[in-house]
Structure 1
Amino acid sequence: MSKPFSILSCLLVLGILLTASPGQAQQLNIAEQEAIQAAVDRVAASVVQIETVGGLIEGGGPIEGASRTTGTIVSPDGFILSSLYGFIQEPSGILVTMPGGKRVAGKIIAKDTQRNLILLKVETDAELAVPEAVARAELQPGQWAIALGKTFAKDLPSVSVGIVSATHRVWGKAVQTDAKISPNNYGGPLIDIQGRVIGILTPLSPQDPGATGGFEWYDSGIGFAVPLTDIQQRLDTLKEGEDLKPGLLGINLKGNDIVADPAEIAAVRYNSPAQVAGIQEKDVLIGANGRPIVRQAQLKHILGEAYAGDTLEFKVKRGEEELTFSITLADELIPYERPFLGILLDRNILDAAVVNHVFDDTAAKTSGVQAGDKIVKYDDTEVDSPQTLREAVATAEPDVPHKLVVLRGEDKTTLEVTPTSMPNEFLAAVAAPTAPEGVEAREGVVTGESDFQLAEEKNSAKLFVPEAAKKLPSLGLVVLLGDAEFKIEPQWDAWKKQAETFGYALLEIQPASESRWTRPEISVVRKMIDRVRDNYNIDVTRTVTVGGKSGGAMALLHGFENRDVQTGAVAIEAGIPRGTNIPDNEPLERLEIVFLIPKDSETTVTLKPQIETLEKMKFTVIRSEATGSKLSETDIEAVSNWLNTLDRI
């Protein structure tokens, strides 16, 4: 067979099966099985079992015993590719069972964190079998795809048969298959009916680029393989011990619809490749390396295939002019630190930035900003709404003075203000939100407590909306994530009391298992938040997730992946799950993190390096001592006061 099966070929075979006699159908089934077995036999000698010994478990403790994964030989002198998923515990030892049954030590040479792969090396005198790769250009949706793994068997590989579902998924990084993909075959090859390697199996996700992103789809008929021909182009770099990392441009785009919105620049990170090259806010990216960019998704495809160190030629539209920029992507950006003026704006005024409160000992206070001032300009940006000011401050050059023009009565005053860093502690309480004078209660606003479970989900949930919702222009939102160890019910009344005082809605969600949260349930939490937002005017700058134990881990995970709908996350006696990709702190995607840690809690030690990492990345992190593993009324009031200042600028 010189070419892989096409969809038409498969349909012809199906037609033959439907019209064939029982004997002919049986012969065709036997022929199919023989073809699959022949393909497996052709590549089996290139598939190995890998045992990882030791390492760290969730929270930082040592692992006892060994775990297994699969590898694929890619070089006759002992280089083996596997999935990064099998190594997130940072093993202290690696053993590889070679095709002849001999176990030899392996060592990590380099990682590809763009595509979640890892390169190992074993020392052997034997010349190892290297499989043939099939070019992605030859692949067609509908052709056979066979997934192999040796995670649970040293001799014969496990086999899962399916088809190629798509050839350019996860922003161009992967081929998609409906064969059952799981830790059983991560690191193994996905092959065609001729026994040629399509790619290396690994979990991937367009939303979560971490080593565990996409794991939630295991055995679901949604699996991915990184094309081997793509990896071969970079294999020499990996062999030299150089990690391959995502290529970073250093921009934020305007809008939230990546399928429909153009790639218009909303913010450019300071000292990033984009800024150094001359890219500016309001520029529109219209092409890169000869490929058109009409929608944001097309830009994500181009960057998804690129690595740090790659140089891309970008075409940019600036007004009526088209410009070309040659930009070398970076492997990291200077951490972004959010500037802090020290003000709260009037939430009842939506078409202007009117100061409601000025915090003591802040840049705004020092510069003479007063409550009641109407801010009309920040440097060269005309301010016509709270959001305009928020973005102007967030994207301005750091560590230098800025001009602030305010209207104070009939007088226009220019002030000079040098923002400081966001405070890493709870601020003094400010007045609770109140509705404008004379505003009548809106009809049709449903308040009080109600069941909120979604018909399509197993997670139980309930919603509480305060009476203030009938008059306030917007509400905050607190999403409570309980589990078997951190129960919400004993705290519920205290939360409701604070919700009435501070004007926020309460959404309590329980894990589907009723015991612990799992990573795939991130999408359930997001879906429920969206449903609340569909029915009420929720202020994203005062939306937070709060949880303890596994619920605390979920609060953090959801925050990292959904900064477009929340601004804060509170974890009680919980940390960041191992393998989590922590995104960069971004000018237009804010996330403030609170760790509430009971005195003498065992998590104190394990949280320390996580907090240090977040602080190094310039996230605003608040550490506070909780009265116990169950929140007291004092703790709940402190979190509510923090929420009431979370929209500060």
Structure 2
Amino acid sequence: MMTMTRHTLWLTVLIGMAGLAAPAARGQTPGTSTDVNEATERALKAAAARVAPCVVKIDTVGGAEVIPGGGKKGPPGKGGIIRKGTGPTTGLIVSPDGYIITSSFNFAHKPTDIYVTIPGRSTPFVAKVVAHDHSRMLVLLKVNATDLPVPAPVLKGEIQVGQWAIALGRTSDPDIEHPPSMSIGIISALNRIHGKAIQTDAKTSPVNYGGPLVAVDGRVFGVIVPMSSRAEGETAGVEWYDSGIGFAVPLEDILRVLPRMKQGQDLRRGLLGITPQSTDLYSAPPAIGSIMPDSAAARAGLQVGDVILEVNGKPVPHYIALQHLLGPLYEGDTIRLKVRRGDKELTFPQITLLGSSPAFVMAFLGILPLRDDPGPGVVVRYVYPNSPAAAAGLRSGDRILKFGPADAKVLPPVANRAALHSLLQRLPPGTEVKLEIQRPAGKDAPPKAPQPDPASPPDSKEAQTPKDDSKPGSDPKATLTLKAKLIPMPDVLPEQLPLPSSAGRALEKPKGAPSVPLPPGFPKGPLPIPKGPPTPAPSPREGSSLSLPPATPEYRPGGNGELAEKWAGTPVLPVLAQTPQQPPSSSRSEDPPGGKPADKPKVETGLLQRLNEALGREYWLYIPDNYDPNISHGLIVWFHDRGPAKDHERLSALFREFCEDHHFILMGPKSASRDGAWLPSEMDFVLQDVRAVLSAYTIDRNRIVAHGAGQGGQMAFYVGFNARDLFRGVAVVGATLGTNPKENLANQPLSFFIAAGDKDPALAEIKESVQLLRERRFPLIYREMKNIGREYLDADAFHDLLLWLDSLDRL
């Protein structure tokens, strides 16, 4: 027996209607395409008319004039900010006693007054906000009205790809008795945005946000909202405006939580509080990489390294599947979890999800490591003054061989920088740690005047005495055991960048210790945050909204000092002939037997133009003249401001000396848009070019930075947050955040350098961006330049930027 789908049935009914309705006077044969089109039009209009009495018009008064946008420039959907609309918006009645659901987008500007006009009612009603659904970006309103019509939902089990979909809105026509505006499409995908939305190709925009997505039989699929899997907030997803990609929250899901919202309960996404161990979210097993302190996972007893097998009895093959299973859940929902720990399977029958987790704070030892050393261990390049490392007596040249909590029975060996970072990220600030180090001959005497530990009172014995548990011997290299107390990652820069920064052996096979399981006593999950004096709270927030400064001429070095003169007077480097994008194979030659460094290959240096032939996109590179593939280089990806990309010659000349001394490569992708403004959709193309550079040159993954000014800075923010598997830093000048920042992650650390002129028109919004990032506990350096408007960095800020760039791998 053949099962007829609802979509097939509807199409059959439409064709039958067409046959019956064929006007004989026109001589048409029943069942012609004209008849089908007319019948389809009548059916769609009838469906809209059936729901129209439930579709209301919402007018708002007051609030902010501009709101953070979805990442593009300009009008709604085109800009990093969105100017508050002056027209009405749309809502859907969901209860006869006056409850109306709508999109949070319509209230992102925090209006002071709300008025709702209902079809068939002569005067508008004053409305109040009852509750928010922060997970699905919905707002519930209440008006004093009764006996209101309520639409019937299409159950989620009945929704299929290919069904007709009608998007309705009340924005265009001031007469509430007229039919709502219609946009016709189909259901194009299910379970989108981590299982929270259905997708349609009907046009969705602020015209119909908050309105219903209607089936051809007059029932409602869901409520139209802008949504994004890459960003959060009321305006996330607005960049998909008029792109053929729209989203709606199923009405069945809304009605399920409506009783909770009626009671005034705000709903938030349910969080487990973990991050993945692998950056491959689509095929790697979903192993836990880190656990947030006091999160649902920490309370349940999950451990780093656990592999999640099932959620509520459903298999979890990879991390994306886990996101889809957890995505629709709310704070307070419970889940049943099965994990694999070693060779055992464990079941956690009832884990209650939380609505928030304490922000992750990276612990700080206080060193810069020497790079490209095959190990074993980590050689200390620089010790930060007044850091735990300085208080413990650690010195430049010491080699850290083992590291762990002070009470660990066995200290795990440290193979390299990555291993030490991995051990650090498991430990919260305030943890007492123990280090086993090897000190070169002649440097084995304890320091006479140790620097104080910032975590201890200045006059305490603990702060004044180096924690050296062993007596130095007469061996050529003394092995010492030191103790330190970790502190939160501070917003400080090193006083200097001692050279050399690299051992020059990047291509040599590592000699580090083999991978071993964590020893007994070493935490597999987060330790409880030690009690002690609280971390000073950030300064009060300034400003009340985010906005992008108006388009202005390109940023240039500010002031009248040395940097401005250097920018204006530096000779332009010659640009070599444009060549296709092909990684030089010689730069990654295999190591010869014995693990010795490979011979230095000849690599094209200077300012180069590259062409991605497959995409037809161009970018430029500056490779320092002393490039050596045996030395890992940082990568600075420069995003130009709005307009033609014409700053590569002077920018590369400005960074030339720094790139040679501290081993950095400059890269400049070019926007393909007509006006030179960056679009979020260009990110994936840029990342392809970045990965091509990574495969062609020896790149230090801990020093990849997105850098930009103005609108280019906004693109740097966007790329930094959405490509955290690649980028470790974001440096911007005169730029604001486009959306709320994401969470700080242990296994994908991200640091920020933000500068602005004190005369920049957007200074208040830039400061608010700084505050938002500090609330999420991101490491951040902020510099405000005196007597400068919309210009590039002055000499002091540029000097600090260089210090920040070369200290991104601090530990």
TM-score (norm 2): 0.74
Q: Which residue of 1 aligns with 2:156?
A: 136
2:352 to 306, 328, 338: 328
Q: Which residue of 2 aligns with 1:31?
A: 39
RMSD: 3.0
Verify the 8 A CA contact 1:144 1:162 in the aligned structure 2.
Answer: yes
Task: Give yes or no for the alignment of 1:639 onto 2:801.
Answer: yes
Verify the 8 A CA contact 1:572 1:596 in the aligned structure 2.
Answer: yes
Task: Give yes or no for the alignment of 1:502 onto 2:662.
Answer: yes
d(CA) in 1 for partners of 2:600 and 2:218? Answer: 67
The amino acid of 2:128's aligned partner reads K
**Structure richer in strand, relative to its length:** 1
The amino acid of 1:373's aligned partner reads D
Structure 1 gaps, min length 5: none
Verify the 8 A CA contact 2:600 2:630 in the aligned structure 1.
Answer: no
Q: Which residue of 1 aligns with 2:78?
A: none
2:110 to 90, 95, 98: 90
d(CA) in 1 for partners of 2:119 and 2:239? Answer: 31
CA displacement at 1:15 relative to structure 2: 14
Tell me the secondary structure at the aligned position of residue 42 of structure 2.
Answer: helix
Q: Which residue of 1 aligns with 2:482?
A: 415
Q: Which residue of 1 aligns with 2:492?
A: 425
Q: Which residue of 1 aligns with 2:142?
A: 121
CA displacement at 1:498 relative to structure 2: 2.6
Residues 85-117 of structure 1: CA deviation (Å, up to 9, x unaligned): 222222222222221363333222221121121
Matches within 5 A, 1:23-172: 24-58=32-66, 66-100=86-120, 102-124=123-145, 126-154=146-174, 155-172=178-195
Q: 1:399 to 1:302 in 2, by over 3 A?
A: same
The amino acid of 2:493's aligned partner reads F
d(CA) in 1 for partners of 2:397 and 2:30? Answer: 86
What number of residue pairs does the alignment pair up?
A: 643
2:382 to 357, 364, 372: 357
2:629 to 449, 471, 486: 471
Q: Which residue of 1 aligns with 2:718?
A: 557
Verify the 8 A CA contact 1:205 1:213 in the aligned structure 2.
Answer: yes
Verify the 8 A CA contact 1:434 1:472 in the aligned structure 2.
Answer: no
The amino acid of 2:494's aligned partner reads L
Task: Give yes or no for the alignment of 1:596 onto 2:596.
Answer: no
Task: Give yes or no for the alignment of 1:582 onto 2:715.
Answer: no
Verify the 8 A CA contact 2:15 2:39 in the aligned structure 1.
Answer: no
Residues 586-606 of structure 1: CA deviation (Å, up to 9, x unaligned): 211211122212134343333
d(CA) in 1 for partners of 2:235 and 2:430? Answer: 37
Tell me the secondary structure at the aligned position of residue 552 of structure 1.
Answer: helix
CA displacement at 1:393 relative to structure 2: 0.4
Task: Give yes or no for the alignment of 1:436 onto 2:504.
Answer: yes
Matches within 5 A, 1:21-420: 24-58=32-66, 66-100=86-120, 102-124=123-145, 126-154=146-174, 155-325=178-348, 326-352=350-376, 353-379=378-404, 380-408=411-439, 410-420=477-487
Verify the 8 A CA contact 1:425 1:623 in the aligned structure 2.
Answer: no
CA displacement at 1:294 relative to structure 2: 2.1
Q: Which residue of 1 aligns with 2:407?
A: none
Verify the 8 A CA contact 2:502 2:631 in the aligned structure 1.
Answer: no
Verify the 8 A CA contact 2:620 2:667 in the aligned structure 1.
Answer: yes
Give the share of equivalent positions with the same residue, in percent. 35
Verify the 8 A CA contact 2:96 2:148 in the aligned structure 1.
Answer: yes
d(CA) in 1 for partners of 2:618 and 2:173? Answer: 40
The amino acid of 2:394's aligned partner reads V
d(CA) in 1 for partners of 2:223 and 2:325? Answer: 21
d(CA) in 2 for partners of 1:304 and 1:531? Answer: 33
Tell me the secondary structure at the aligned position of residue 467 of structure 1.
Answer: coil
Tell me the secondary structure at the aligned position of residue 127 of structure 2.
Answer: strand
d(CA) in 2 for partners of 1:414 and 1:557? Answer: 44
Q: Which residue of 1 aligns with 2:453?
A: none
d(CA) in 2 for partners of 1:262 and 1:455? Answer: 35
Q: Which residue of 1 aligns with 2:781?
A: 622
TM-score (norm 1): 0.91
The amino acid of 2:793's aligned partner reads L
d(CA) in 1 for partners of 2:745 and 2:85? Answer: 40
CA displacement at 1:313 relative to structure 2: 1.3
Q: 1:453 to 1:195 in 2, by over 3 A?
A: farther
Tell me the secondary structure at the aligned position of residue 716 of structure 2.
Answer: helix
CA displacement at 1:342 relative to structure 2: 1.0
CA displacement at 1:58 relative to structure 2: 4.4
- Higher mean Cα deviation, 556-565 or 443-452? 443-452
d(CA) in 1 for partners of 2:698 and 2:126? Answer: 59
Q: 1:13 to 1:320 in 2, by over 3 A?
A: farther
Verify the 8 A CA contact 1:548 1:572 in the aligned structure 2.
Answer: yes
Q: Which residue of 1 aligns with 2:450?
A: none
Q: 1:28 to 1:228 in 2, by over 3 A?
A: same
For the pair shown, the structure with the greater C-alpha radius of gyration is 2
The amino acid of 2:365's aligned partner reads L
Residues 432-486 of structure 1: CA deviation (Å, up to 9, x unaligned): 5456289676436443222345567687632222234333432211122222489
Tell me the secondary structure at the aligned position of residue 66 of structure 1.
Answer: coil
d(CA) in 2 for partners of 1:245 and 1:24? Answer: 52
CA displacement at 1:64 relative to structure 2: 7.7
- Higher mean Cα deviation, 208-217 or 544-553? 208-217
Q: 1:523 to 1:150 in 2, by over 3 A?
A: farther
CA displacement at 1:40 relative to structure 2: 0.8
CA displacement at 1:539 relative to structure 2: 2.2
Verify the 8 A CA contact 1:483 1:514 in the aligned structure 2.
Answer: no
Structure 2 gaps, min length 5: 19-27, 69-80, 405-410, 441-476, 506-595
CA displacement at 1:213 relative to structure 2: 2.8
d(CA) in 2 for partners of 1:152 and 1:406? Answer: 71
Verify the 8 A CA contact 1:82 1:187 in the aligned structure 2.
Answer: yes
Q: Which residue of 2 aligns with 1:461?
A: 619
Tell me the secondary structure at the aligned position of residue 470 of structure 1.
Answer: coil
Tell me the secondary structure at the aligned position of residue 545 of structure 1.
Answer: strand
d(CA) in 2 for partners of 1:189 and 1:608? Answer: 38
Tell me the secondary structure at the aligned position of residue 483 of structure 1.
Answer: coil
Verify the 8 A CA contact 1:55 1:63 in the aligned structure 2.
Answer: no
- Higher mean Cα deviation, 493-502 or 510-519? 510-519
d(CA) in 2 for partners of 1:363 and 1:14? Answer: 78
